């Protein structure tokens, strides 16, 4: 029953005595069972596109820790690949893509309506998870937000300051805007089909929102998320949406209304006390333990976890990290965090 799912209750603005908890990148390289399944798949993309194996790594942290939600195992760059970009991963370095920087390259991308053929294995993973997850565990689908996805498509890889995307935005606004529009429309199709397959909550990750300044933050981070949220809400009004414009700082204020999201996730660059006063008044919030605590553990982890829980205890809150867990994390520290949240 959905009424038993604590994540959905928090997203419906219920203040719970113990906040529900999940963790960004909870299925990943810090877990030995993940490494074994990854080796079985052969490479990262093969793992993403193998529904049985992708479902397995999604389920692994649920079995080990009993998180209140599972997040689909996939990657934000599968959508660019579905739109026609070449995508590959370099061991130890990360993703590489063919670049989109000209009008001809933009025009060569596939229509947004055509992404589903390529992404059908992802939907099959969701269907498997809908059957295999415990009845109390919420299934979260996700996508990268258009600005963040565009930064990779323009540069062909991750960059420390998103400089290639900023340069294209400044030098060829027509191509840049066109790319944002294509990604936005493709994301709507992608997330709609995730919902049809069984995703109960959607999360939008704008990992590089913090590098947008002035009017660009509103135009290229918030507005695309608002468009996607509005389209999903029109078709699936019962499905909650979590928006995560990482690095927004004091611009986190009023984003529930600006985006139309049910929950705003926040990073560890702002304090939980500040969020309680300036963001939680608008609805559910999610965050924000620094992921470094998953490496260092100890009393500092316990103290900071309790501080966050206490600060946000007056309203709807989903406990999470301020960003994804890192590969050097100690699985025992994850358990300590969970025990602290649930045990006081």
pLDDT for 1 equals: 41
Active site residue 75: yes
| Residue 96, Cβ density class (10 Å: 0-12 exposed, 13-18 middle, ≥19 buried) | middle
* Per-residue pLDDT tens digits of the chain, which is 344 residues long: 446 899 999 999 999 999 999 999 999 999 999 999 999 999 999 999 999 999 999 999 999 999 999 999 999 999 999 999 999 999 888 999 999 999 999 999 999 999 999 999 999 999 999 999 999 999 999 999 999 999 999 999 999 999 999 999 999 999 999 999 999 999 999 999 999 999 999 999 999 999 999 999 999 999 999 999 999 999 999 999 999 999 999 999 999 999 999 999 999 999 999 999 999 999 999 999 999 999 999 999 999 999 999 999 999 999 999 999 999 999 999 999 999 999 96
Contact 140, 22 (CB under 8 A): yes
Distance separating the N- and C-terminal Cα atoms of the chain: 27
Residue 208: strand, helix, or coil = coil
**pLDDT score of 4:** 85
Q: Are 314 and 276 in contact (CB under 8 A)?
A: yes
Distance CA 206, CA 265 (A): 10
What is the three-class DSSP state of 12? coil
How many CB atoms are closer than 10 A to CB 288? 24
Known active-site residue 173: no
pTM of the model: 0.97
Is 38 among the catalytic positions?
A: yes
Q: Which of 9, 34, 68, 75 is catalytic?
A: 75
**Of the candidates 48, 72, 75, 39, which has an alpha carbon nearest to the alpha carbon of residue 58?**
72
pLDDT at residue 92, rounded to an integer: 83
Select which of 30, 34, 65, 152 is catalytic.
152
* In the chain, where the domains are located: 2-343
- 236 assigned to active site: no
Distances (CA, A) of 281 to 19, 75, 103, 218, 322: 16, 32, 43, 21, 19
Q: What is the CATH number of domain 2-343?
A: 3.20.20.210
Q: What element of type H or E holds 163?
A: helix 163-171
Q: Which of 9, 34, 38, 262 is an active site residue?
A: 38
d(CA 62, CA 233): 28
CA dihedral sign, ordered 249, 250, 256, 259: negative
Q: How far apart are CA 185 and CA 113, in angstroms?
A: 8
CB-facing half-sphere around the CA of 92: CA atoms within 13 A: 0
């Amino acid at each position: 029953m959905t009424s038993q799912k604590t994540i959905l209750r928090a997203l419906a603005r219920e203040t719970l005595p113990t906040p529900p908890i999940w963790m960004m990148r909870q299925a990943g390289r810090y877990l030995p069972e993940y490494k074994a399944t990854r080796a079985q798949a052969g490479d990262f993309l093969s793992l993403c596109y193998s529904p049985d194996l992708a479902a397995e790594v999604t389920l692994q942290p649920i079995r080990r820790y009993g998180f209140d939600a599972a997040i689909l195992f996939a990657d934000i760059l599968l959508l660019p690949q579905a739109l026609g970009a070449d995508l590959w991963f370099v061991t130890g370095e990360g993703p590489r893509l063919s670049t989109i920087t000209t009008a001809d390259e933009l025009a060569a991308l596939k229509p947004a309506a055509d992404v589903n053929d390529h992404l059908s294995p992802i939907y099959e993973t969701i269907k498997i998870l809908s059957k295999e997850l415990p009845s109390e565990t919420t299934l979260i689908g996700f996508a990268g937000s258009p600005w963040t996805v565009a930064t990779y498509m323009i540069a062909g890889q991750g960059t420390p300051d998103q400089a290639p995307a900023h340069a294209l935005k400044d030098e060829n606004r027509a191509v840049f805007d066109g790319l944002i529009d294509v990604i936005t429309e493709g994301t709507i199709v992608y997330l709609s089909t995730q919902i049809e397959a069984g995703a109960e909550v959607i999360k939008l990750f704008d990992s590089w929102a913090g590098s947008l300044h002035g009017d660009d933050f509103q135009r290229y981070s918030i507005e695309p998320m608002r468009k996607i949220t509005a389209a999903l809400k029109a078709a699936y009004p019962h499905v909650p949406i979590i928006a995560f414009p990482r690095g927004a700082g004091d611009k986190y204020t009023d984003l529930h209304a600006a985006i139309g999201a049910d929950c705003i996730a926040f990073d560890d660059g702002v304090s939980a006390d500040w969020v309680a006063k300036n963001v939680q008044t608008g609805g559910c919030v999610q965050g924000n333990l620094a992921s470094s605590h998953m490496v260092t553990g100890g009393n500092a982890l316990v103290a900071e976890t309790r501080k966050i829980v206490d600060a946000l205890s007056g309203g709807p809150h989903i406990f999470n990290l301020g960003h994804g867990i890192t590969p050097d994390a100690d699985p025992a520290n994850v358990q300590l965090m969970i025990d602290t949240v649930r045990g006081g």
